[in-house]
């Protein structure tokens, strides 16, 4: 995972060094061998990154992990099946909805307030970055500040919402050796709630986005733009989403990821005005929440590798892992787990996922098949992770 955090910049001490084979001599030229000459090292750095969709808690979610004896919450069991994906990545991101607070009462829709225990678990599994959503200002400045303080104390960086004007001017940059990756985040709105200072929330303002990308490219090798946008429960991107993504690619973004519809939308490749191929994941779906309508209980882990060789940076590979939020009964109480779908289909068939009922298993298979059919696109090199 990450090595050091300084002013929003990440530093890792790992370094990958290979060698470049010498070029063969031509048939009619013979050069003397210099035994004292050392081979020029190939400077190569790779970063494996995962991004997931929306995490936001309904009352059913926090009630399911409440311990009446200790009057405390613990979400570790919910995230345990997917924890290794976060721990094995160099960087991980998610969208965090609502406000975090040390004191209740806690609430779900329409004004979300969640316990600090959620952030404890997200820190434990190794989540590094949260993009903020349309529910960031649900409890005004007080909620923004409490969430920011909690994230800061847990060493989780926040993008697209800021408690100070100074922080709003900083670009989040992840650094591993000589590779620098910038993340910019923007939100379509705050559900009509006031934004006391314009710098507190990065709204989807194309002029600002263009300016921010220009600055980010000066500071980094690869720029990823995270957008909280789109129409809720629509499985395909709107014309506005497509137009916005095209413009942002033309401005210089190297990759675009999105959330908000609460269902998975396809991943496409767009051609930028300067001839680059830019992947756009319009919506990663719900990663963890209490919604149970068709398609809202499914999400994905977007896994991608960014590589820098001899000063040239590219998206080396992009894959996905389908996920499903299981809701099941334990001792008469609702429980939740985020499951990597294919793995738990196999575990159930082997008799190793007995907490799932037959109805759960059938729904898990259904969501897995729906997700794969919706996402697999070999023509652009986007397929399920093996």
User: pLDDT tens digits, residue range 145-154?
Assistant: 999 999 999 9
pLDDT at 386: 85
DSSP secondary structure code for residue 100 in this structure: E
pLDDT at 7: 40
Q: Confirm whether 116 is domain-assigned.
A: yes
Return the number of other C-beta atoms located less than 10 Å from residue 266's C-beta.
Answer: 16
DSSP secondary structure code for residue 88 in this structure: T
What would the two tokens of residue 41 be?
A: 């090292």
pLDDT at 34: 54
pLDDT in tens, 258-280: 999 999 999 999 999 999 999 99
17-26, 34-43, 134-143, 295-304: least confident range:
17-26
Q: Confirm whether 362 is domain-assigned.
A: yes
6-10, 74-78, 94-98, 164-168: least confident range:
6-10
pLDDT in tens, 44-84: 999 999 999 999 999 999 999 999 999 999 999 999 999 99
Q: Confirm whether 34 is domain-assigned.
A: no
- SS3 assignment, position 25: coil
Return the number of other C-beta atoms located less than 10 Å from residue 207's C-beta.
Answer: 7
Q: Confirm whether 119 is domain-assigned.
A: yes
What beta strand segments (E) does 61-109 contain?
Answer: 66-67, 72-73, 91-96, 99-101
Let me know: does 253 contact 274? Beta carbons within 8 Å. no
- SS3 assignment, position 58: coil
Q: Is the pLDDT of residue 20 over 80?
A: no
Determine the angle formed by the axes of helices 358-375 and 341-349, rounding to 10 degrees.
140
Rounded Cα distance between 88 and 109, Å, is: 33
Residue from 334, 355, 357, 356 nearest 62 by CA: 334
Q: Confirm whether 267 is domain-assigned.
A: yes
pLDDT at 42: 76
- Higher-scoring residue by pLDDT: 213, 16: 213
Q: Confirm whether 167 is domain-assigned.
A: yes
172-176/9-11 β-pairing: parallel
Q: Confirm whether 353 is domain-assigned.
A: yes
Q: Confirm whether 27 is domain-assigned.
A: no
- Higher-scoring residue by pLDDT: 37, 380: 380
Total domain count, the chain: 1
Rounded Cα distance between 282 and 305, Å, is: 19
- Higher-scoring residue by pLDDT: 42, 168: 168
pLDDT at 283: 98
Residue whose pair of structure tokens reads 């767009």 in the numeric block: 270
Residues in the chain: 386
- SS3 assignment, position 287: strand
Cα 101 to the center of its chain, rounded Å: 22
pLDDT at 6: 38
Q: How confident is the model at residue 24 (pLDDT cuts 50, 70, 90)?
A: very low
Q: How confident is the model at residue 43 (pLDDT cuts 50, 70, 90)?
A: confident
pLDDT in tens, 214-229: 999 999 999 999 999 9
pLDDT at 116: 98
- SS3 assignment, position 187: strand
Let me know: does 72 contact 104? Beta carbons within 8 Å. no
The domain of 254 spans: 4-12+48-384
- SS3 assignment, position 118: helix
Residue whose pair of structure tokens reads 């898990």 in the numeric block: 364
Cα 3 to the center of its chain, rounded Å: 19
Q: Is the pLDDT of residue 25 over 90?
A: no
Q: How confident is the model at residue 21 (pLDDT cuts 50, 70, 90)?
A: very low
pLDDT at 36: 56
What would the two tokens of residue 181 be?
A: 């990756």
Rounded Cα distance between 133 and 54, Å, is: 9
Q: What is the DSSP string of 308-373?
A: EETTEEEEEEEEEEEEEEEEEEETTEEEEEEEEHHHHHHHHHTT--TTS-HHHHHHHHHHHHHHHH
Question: Domain containing 140 — which CATH number?
Answer: 3.60.21.10
Q: Does the predicted model carry a pTM greater than 0.85?
A: yes
pLDDT in tens, 120-131: 999 999 999 999
Q: Is the pLDDT of residue 93 over 50?
A: yes
DSSP secondary structure code for residue 39 in this structure: P
């Amino acid at each position: 995972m990450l090595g050091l955090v300084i002013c929003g910049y990440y530093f890792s001490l790992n370094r990958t060094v290979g060698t470049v084979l010498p070029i063969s001599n031509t048939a009619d030229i013979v050069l003397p061998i210099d035994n004292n000459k050392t081979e020029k090292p190939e400077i190569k750095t790779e970063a494996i990154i995962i991004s997931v969709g929306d995490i936001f808690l309904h009352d059913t979610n926090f009630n399911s992990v409440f311990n009446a004896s200790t009057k405390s919450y613990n979400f570790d069991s919910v995230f345990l099946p997917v924890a290794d994906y976060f721990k094995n990545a160099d960087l991980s991101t998610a969208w965090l909805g609502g406000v975090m607070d040390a004191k209740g009462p806690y609430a779900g829709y329409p004004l979300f307030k969640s316990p600090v225990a959620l952030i404890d678990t997200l820190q434990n599994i190794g989540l590094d970055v949260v993009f903020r959503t349309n529910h960031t200002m649900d409890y005004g400045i007080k909620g923004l500040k409490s969430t920011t303080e909690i994230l800061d104390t847990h060493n989780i960086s926040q993008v697209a919402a800021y408690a100070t004007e100074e922080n709003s001017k900083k670009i989040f940059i992840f650094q591993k050796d000589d590779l620098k990756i910038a993340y910019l985040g923007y939100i379509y709105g705050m559900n009509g709630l006031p934004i006391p200072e314009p710098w507190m929330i990065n709204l989807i303002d194309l002029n600002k986005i263009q300016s921010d990308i220009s600055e980010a490219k000066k500071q980094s090798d690869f720029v990823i733009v995270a957008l909280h946008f789109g129409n809720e429960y629509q499985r395909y991107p709107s014309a506005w989403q497509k137009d916005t993504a095209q413009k942002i690619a033309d401005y210089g973004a190297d990759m675009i990821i999105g959330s908000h519809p609460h269902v998975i939308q396809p991943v496409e490749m767009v051609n930028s005005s300067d001839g680059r191929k830019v992947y756009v994941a319009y919506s990663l779906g719900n990663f963890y929440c209490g919604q149970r309508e068709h398609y809202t209980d499914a999400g994905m882990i977007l896994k991608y590798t960014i590589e820098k060789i001899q000063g040239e940076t590219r998206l080396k590979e992009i894959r996905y892992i389908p996920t499903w939020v299981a809701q099941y009964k334990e001792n008469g109480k609702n429980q939740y787990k985020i499951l990597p779908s294919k793995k738990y289909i196999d575990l159930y068939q082997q008799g190793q996922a007995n907490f799932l009922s037959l109805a759960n298993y059938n729904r898990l298979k259904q969501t897995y098949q729906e997700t794969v059919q919706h996402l697999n696109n070999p023509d652009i090199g986007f397929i399920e992770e093996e």
